[in-house]
Structure 1
Amino acid sequence: MLPRQRQTGPAGPAGPAGHGPRQDYLDAFDGGAVGAGGDGKSGGVRAKERPAGEPGPEAGPRAQAPVAGVDGAAPPAQRGNMGRAFTGIAAAAVTTVLAVVVAGQVTEGRDTGARTGHSAPDQGADAHAGSTATPSAAPLTYEQKMDRTYPVSATLKASGKFDTVPGFDKAPGTGRKYRYRVDVEQGLGLDGALFAEAVQKTLNDDRSWGHGGTRTFERISSGEPDFVITLASPGTTATWCAKSGLDTAEENVSCDSAATRRVMINAYRWAQGSKTYGDKIHMYRQMLINHEVGHRLGHNHVTCEKNGELAPVMQQQTKFLDHDGIHCLPNAWPYPSS
């Protein structure tokens, strides 16, 4: 096959240019498909349709012009026209894209503003709430803890094993010193440190057995104690009290197991109190300690003798306040008037 010959002349290379997608586009462009109507008027979108058989612009000389990159360089004039046309097309496309982008940004900005306007108060409230949130509650004081009841079943029988509350509380007074240890049965779920603190504070109160400097009490956690104050479940309390011939099971009370070193404090009573004291749980706990330690010191049961008197601390106040028509008032101390 002979190489294709280039001809020069006013009309450009000989022979019509082959049709294809690119040529169709250029034909449409030359015929006013973009930017002008087929009749030459501005604003058309596509070339005006021609009647059958009518020659179109592609039959004219411009249709024979070479396309750059295909058959050779286009004449300068054609390149200029095409450049301006392509520039116009590009500008229109860019304008369209910018319009879409701007519209999207405006819409997004409105949406964002709306969302921000809706959520900002919530965020502000959250931030404000975070900055002014109520701090965690302060730890309860000793008095507050002693004024509360705690959940312990009246039929509980725990492990029977004891833990000694660690620490040392020096005897604060004069007189005969009694050294004691505090044990708490495992599995009660009660605050052993609170119990130990209550024992020390109660026994060394001047209204208690050390009144007038006659005795003082010291808590130890090692060495030989004079007695062991033991907080235990009702079942375990009954077991230890039975070692000294005492029955505490029927009325769920405490005891001084004199045949052993243990002064038994019934955890159910410690946690829940008694009907005789009602909501005076703090006072009841003080009475419970003083009553059982009083047995250890050699004191027996007594009752009040006149109507309206304070019950002696050695009265069985867990069981009753009134007897023989005499109404006794609750009392936690051996020397309440001090």
Structure 2
Amino acid sequence: MIALVGRHSATGRAPARAAEPDAAAPPDTGAPTAPRVPGPRQPSRPDGPSTRRGRKPNRRVAAGVAALATVLAVVLAVRFTGGGHPHNAADAAPGGAGRKRADGGAASRSDQRVTPPPGYDQAMALRYPLDAKLALGGGFDAVPGHDPAPGRGQVLRYRVDVEQGLPLDGRLFADAVQKTLNDDRSWGHGGTRTFERISSGTPDFVITLASPVTTGKWCAKSGLDTLDENVSCDSAATDRVMINAYRWAQGSDTYGPDKMHMYRQMLINHEVGHRLGHNHEQCDKQGALAPVMMQQTKFLSTDGRTCRPNPWPFPAEN
């Protein structure tokens, strides 16, 4: 509270509210009074009861308490009315501001969902973008790790190489090769052989995922032209079974976009079949499953007979 020296301010106007007379001041008689002489500052009247007997609370302490109470009230208002900064990082991220639940309330942590990466079957069912004329440097990296041969019979050891700079998942490719070759419908059917993936040592052959141009160069070493129709090959004069990355990523018209998993299994079984000594076959019966050694990337028909897509040497259906 402010003690006024006189009844009027320096501008000559009466203040909006007259100060309360000090209890010790003499009554106003209307006669001029001598100006007050500055002296020791006197404590103002307390705004509340004394906190200690015989003493009055300090005005600065009271003001500080009031300010603290105001700040606390603002903080609580922000916290419970949704004002101010977001309550979690998701709301602060782009697209998070103003996000609401279906019932109109603000989104909470429990409302947030993270889409997991696709599993093996889901990833194998997807198409991936790749240039049909992609050319890379021709260097290869072996996919690290070891997958033991799970079955019985003759053990064939292979390595998986992926061309450097290829924008495809080499681990997915390696998993697909191991799972496909060791399926009982594949070339180990009946316990005749089993396949082991290695990343060091000497393999029996190397399954190689490479760009279309690099695939063409390695296939040409064995007198095969794959560039014209952008296909894969077993480069028999070398140790490499070449899988064209464009076909691995995009598939073929004969299988379409909804059978990518099947197509990739066929691609592996067909080219490894060549490595094992099998030649091309044809469609022998209308509506039958195509032989895995048929050139299914190019066609499913022979002399007017059309077969159905089939990725297995020994399918469950005969």
- Could you say whether these structures have the same fold, taking a TM-score greater than 0.5 normalized by the shorter chain as the test? yes
Match runs of 1:161-176 below 5 Å: 161-176=139-154
**Aligned partner of 1:311 among 290, 306, 311:** 290
Match of 1:205 in 2: 183
1:331 aligns to 2:317 (yes or no)? no
**Aligned partner of 2:193 among 215, 222, 226:** 215
Is there any run of 5+ residues in structure 2 with no aligned partner, and where? 6-19, 48-57, 89-105
Change (3 A) 1:100 1:143: same
Match of 1:18 in 2: none
Deviation at 1:94, TM superposition (A): 7.4
Deviation at 1:200, TM superposition (A): 1.1
* Structure 1 CA distance for aligned equivalents of residues 44 and 203 of structure 2: 102
Deviation at 1:227, TM superposition (A): 1.1
**Aligned partner of 2:172 among 174, 190, 194:** 194
Change (3 A) 1:256 1:114: same
Report Cα offsets for 1:102-151 as digits up to 9, x if no partner: 89987996686467435423279836966526464445322122122222
Match of 2:158 in 1: 180
**Aligned partner of 1:297 among 256, 276, 291:** 276
Change (3 A) 1:161 1:107: closer
Q: Could you say which structure has the higher helix fraction?
A: 1
* Contact persistence 1:35–1:43 (CA under 8 A): no
* Contact persistence 1:254–1:266 (CA under 8 A): yes
1:337 maps to a residue whose letter is A
**Aligned partner of 1:42 among 21, 28, 36:** 28
Aligned residues: CA RMSD: 3.8
* Structure 2 CA distance for aligned equivalents of residues 330 and 215 of structure 1: 25
**Aligned partner of 1:241 among 216, 219, 222:** 219
Segments ≥4 residues shifted beyond 3 Å: 89-95, 98-116, 127-131, 133-140
User: How many residues align structurally?
Assistant: 268
* Contact persistence 1:205–1:211 (CA under 8 A): yes
1:122 aligns to 2:82 (yes or no)? yes
* Contact persistence 1:149–1:272 (CA under 8 A): yes
* Contact persistence 1:35–1:42 (CA under 8 A): no
Aligned identity (percent) is 59
Report Cα offsets for 1:12-39 as digits up to 9, x if no partner: xxxxxxxxxxxxx9xxxxxxxx969xxx
Deviation at 1:262, TM superposition (A): 0.6
**SS of residue in 2 equivalent to 1:265:** strand
* Structure 2 CA distance for aligned equivalents of residues 262 and 288 of structure 1: 14
**TM-score of the two chains, using structure 2 as the length reference:** 0.71
* Contact persistence 1:299–1:314 (CA under 8 A): yes
* Structure 2 CA distance for aligned equivalents of residues 308 and 152 of structure 1: 32
**TM-score of the two chains, using structure 1 as the length reference:** 0.67
1:42 maps to a residue whose letter is D
Is there any run of 5+ residues in structure 1 with no aligned partner, and where? 1-24, 26-33, 50-56, 59-81
